[in-house]
Structure 1
Amino acid sequence: MAGRRRASGSSVVALCLLLVSLVACGGRPATDNARADVQRLLDRRAAAVLDHDESGYRRTGSAAGFADVRALPLADWSYRLTELHRTGDRATADAELRYRIDGFDKAPVTARRTLELTRDADGGWSVISDRPAGNSAEQLWDRGAVTAVRGEHSLVLGVGQSREALERYAELGDRAVPAVSKAWGTDWSEHVVVLVPESLEGMAGLLGSPASSYRGIAAVTTGETGAARAPADRIIVNPEAYDVLGSVGKQVVLTHETTHVATRAHTDTGTPMWLSEGYADWIGYRDSGRTPAEAAPELARSVAAGDVPATLPDSGDFGFTGDSTALAQAYEGGWMACRLIAERWGEGRLGAFYRAVGAEGVDAAMTDVLGTSPEEFTGWWREYLRTQFAGDGPAAG
């Protein structure tokens, strides 16, 4: 009996020795240890970014990308390992990057990343590369070294742009913010972050969409609607379309996009696009001196030719990949609707209507704030178009 016990004990020891490469006897699997080691590696890499510590960054692996993020004014930068796929001394890590721009982001932005790793002879892990995860949008620094220009109300981050060009964007942003606050109020952050990539393709990469979706579009705003504490808003510029605009057009576009930043917490899926885009255009054109025929040439031409829209634009009319004339008329129709409200009920009532639509829907807001119905309002809008454009717009042709 005693001999059998000794033999059994030896077998247990031998089994532990046999499996030690897979399981620490009575401890965690080796894959768990690898995950912990990789997470610590990512923690060190993140700390090096925040501390502007290039030598510390190099000790975690490839130095590629360090210079690209050096100019970012960061308050936070961290990785959370979500998956680790290991084959021998190589591994692929899926991670969530969380970062926050100091003084501008209320909460961290989250980006999915894929990192390639290698293990050295001493068992330590190093980063070979860090790229956007599959089907994820790029970050600005994935396009190259970021240049940062800070204005009074704006932060402009650019790649492939001169500092002088970015300073001009900051000047436009600094004028846009008080213009929006003058009309909308000050219950928002009153600052903007503008991203200026090197090209249309760069813009599309930041949005994770084909370039064809944004050709001819000067800028878009990203952000989570209907939430007071969404991570961040970004105005993303298409420099190829933006640069051909005149000085007034450039200001109108940036003020329009800044309006989206200001109104985002009061915008939800129930807010019609004629209102959200029309209101942004209304603020954008508010102090521009442009007449309706100058600011809405496509709609003016159509109405002057006797083709008055039967209904307010719907969401499908605002698709970037559709007919450019129809898209222009949709924006212009929304702007004219907001212009009508401002003239008939007052500018303050227009802002109150926007907020009420986000809280209770269009029908209720029409009744509660404007004392009318959607059908009656549409009739007034059509008559307003005739009054503004019939016989006075650009010649049909």
Structure 2
Amino acid sequence: MALVALAVWRVGSDEPYRADLSPRTAAPTARAGAAASVTQELVRALAAGDADAAADLAPAGDDRARALLGAVAHNARDLRLTDLSARYVDEVGAVSSDGSWTAALDLTWALDGFDQQPARAEVLAHFAPDGQGVAVTDLGGGDRISPTWLRGRLAVRRTPDVLVMAGGDQASREARGYLQRVRRAIPVVRRVLPGWRPAVVVEVPASPLELDHALGVAEGTYTDIAAVTAAADGDPRAGGPVRVFVNPVVTGRLRGAGAQVVISHELTHVATDATTAAPDPWLQEGFADYVALRDVDLPVTTTAGRAIASVRRDGVPDGLPGPADFDTSATDLEAAYELAWLACVEIAAEAGERGLVRVYRAAAGGASTTQALGTVGLTRAEVLRGWQESLSRLAS
């Protein structure tokens, strides 16, 4: 079409054709080699905990980027990061008109004394031309996992078996408060699981949005969730690094006992390797609540209030909660957790606490729920019937 249009123009015009020989400005391109070199300089600065060296990798005059890179170096030092490496992978998206671009980095890191294996994730980094070189303008964000320690200055508190990192304006207070909660939760979990040897890492991002970034999920996924236990790098492999991620807004709204139950619940997941185990969700979540609520002096009308309201509204359920009931977007998520807890209370009432632990371990080890219940002489139908009768009594 372009050739035809040119021919018509030449025939119908008295003006001679003159080619446009004016110089054209080349489109900006990513300078991958220079960015890869800067990435290695950043790794060396972080490994040394050298905030000034890290900040010097920001563009001249970009105070925000300087502050961020310096903060990340402080975090690396305070967290005692080991196995730290980063490799420039490739550009992500188009290069902007000002020459800046985003790239993926293959990042590895570990927390000394806590992680048996290093975490590994593909994270985003942002680069821009800076004079004759290339500078780092930002780290993390986007739709990839963004480790909390990459996103801003953290307060870090630790004991030999607990490490808490917290961001945001109240970071120091948050870190201190959650360290105390974890230390109170450890004996709660060990009363039911005495063989557990704790090594707990808790991350408290600055906001629910930063929580989503840390987990590499769509924005808003965990807006209404108090906390979640997950692999640090999104890979739930055996022996991989595990974190308890806390939503500071939701947990901050809870009263003291409620916040403590949340932490005890999540530590039960840590103690039972819940990120790699695969029992039915009602058994996994109900067992964690059983441990967390075991010694809490609250009436069942409080601890199962939403489940009771659900039964009064909709009647006794035909079956135990299914996977969809535990989705973060489920409309009656809290009721599902309470119903699951009451099912585990029913198992403990029939088989004893040791029996409940035995059922859970069997299911976590790969047995079906029916097979796991059979190890203590129970059937699924018996548990379902007893659970339904209990719900009927509570709702009457």
When the two structures are superposed, what TM-score results if normalisation uses the length of structure 2?
0.78
Q: Distance in 1 between matches of 2:201 and 2:88?
A: 28
- Residue identity in the other structure for 2:265: H
Per-residue displacement from partner, 1:8-36 (whole Å, max 9, x unpaired)?
Answer: xxxxxxxxxxxxxxxxxxxxxxxxxx877
Q: Distance in 2 between matches of 1:43 and 1:143?
A: 19
Aligned-residue Cα RMSD (Å) equals 3.0
Corresponding residue to 1:77 among 81, 84, 104:
84
- Is the aligned partner of 1:66 residue 2:69? yes
Per-residue displacement from partner, 1:187-231 (whole Å, max 9, x unpaired)?
Answer: 4x513222222322332332334554333322122126874311x
Contact 2:140-2:151 within 8 A present in 1 as well? no
Corresponding residue to 1:114 among 111, 114, 125:
125
Instruction: Show the counterpart of 2:5.
Output: none
- Is the aligned partner of 1:178 residue 2:187? yes
Contact 1:306-1:390 within 8 A present in 2 as well? no
SS at match of 1:182: helix
Instruction: Show the counterpart of 1:356.
Output: 362
SS at match of 2:387: helix
Contact 2:57-2:136 within 8 A present in 1 as well? no
For the structure 1 residues 120 and 216, does the alpha-carbon distance in structure 2 shift closer, same or farther, using more than 3 Å as the test? closer
Instruction: Show the counterpart of 2:143.
Output: 135
For the structure 1 residues 353 and 118, does the alpha-carbon distance in structure 2 shift closer, same or farther, using more than 3 Å as the test? same
SS at match of 1:370: coil
Q: Distance in 2 between matches of 1:152 and 1:333?
A: 36
For the structure 1 residues 206 and 306, does the alpha-carbon distance in structure 2 shift closer, same or farther, using more than 3 Å as the test? closer
For the structure 1 residues 309 and 60, does the alpha-carbon distance in structure 2 shift closer, same or farther, using more than 3 Å as the test? same
Per-residue displacement from partner, 1:89-141 (whole Å, max 9, x unpaired)?
Answer: 977643111111222222222232234254865xxx54332422642133324
Deviates more, 1:344-353 or 1:215-224: 215-224
Instruction: Show the counterpart of 1:312.
Output: 320
For the structure 1 residues 312 and 267, does the alpha-carbon distance in structure 2 shift closer, same or farther, using more than 3 Å as the test? farther
Aligned ranges for residues 1-397 of structure 1 at < 5 Å? 39-58=36-55, 60-62=57-59, 63-69=66-72, 70-71=74-75, 72-73=78-79, 74-83=81-90, 93-111=103-121, 112-116=123-127, 118=129, 121=132, 125-132=133-140, 134-151=142-159, 153-160=161-168, 161-187=170-196, 190-223=198-231, 227-230=237-240, 232-264=241-273, 267-269=276-278, 271-303=279-311, 307-323=315-331, 326-358=332-364, 359-367=366-374, 369-387=375-393, 389-391=394-396
SS at match of 1:185: coil
Instruction: Show the counterpart of 2:18.
Output: none
Deviation at 1:370, TM superposition (A): 2.4
- Residue identity in the other structure for 2:211: M
For the structure 1 residues 45 and 297, does the alpha-carbon distance in structure 2 shift closer, same or farther, using more than 3 Å as the test? same
Count residues with an aligned counterpart. Answer: 349
For the structure 1 residues 198 and 120, does the alpha-carbon distance in structure 2 shift closer, same or farther, using more than 3 Å as the test? closer
Percent identity at matched positions? 30
Per-residue displacement from partner, 1:61-115 (whole Å, max 9, x unpaired)?
Answer: 554533322134112321022236998x977643111111222222222232234
- Residue identity in the other structure for 2:47: L
Which runs of no fewer than 5 residues in structure 1 stay unpaired?
Answer: 1-33, 392-397
- Residue identity in the other structure for 2:50: D
Q: Distance in 1 between matches of 2:43 and 2:235?
A: 29
For the structure 1 residues 109 and 373, does the alpha-carbon distance in structure 2 shift closer, same or farther, using more than 3 Å as the test? same
Instruction: Show the counterpart of 1:24.
Output: none
Instruction: Show the counterpart of 1:17.
Output: none
SS at match of 2:378: coil
Q: Distance in 1 between matches of 2:219 and 2:131?
A: 41
Which runs of no fewer than 5 residues in structure 2 stay unpaired?
Answer: 1-30, 60-65
Deviation at 1:304, TM superposition (A): 5.5
Q: Distance in 2 between matches of 1:298 and 1:386?
A: 14
Instruction: Show the counterpart of 1:19.
Output: none
Q: Distance in 1 between matches of 2:154 and 2:327?
A: 31
Q: Distance in 1 between matches of 2:102 and 2:217?
A: 25
- Residue identity in the other structure for 1:273: P
Instruction: Show the counterpart of 2:28.
Output: none
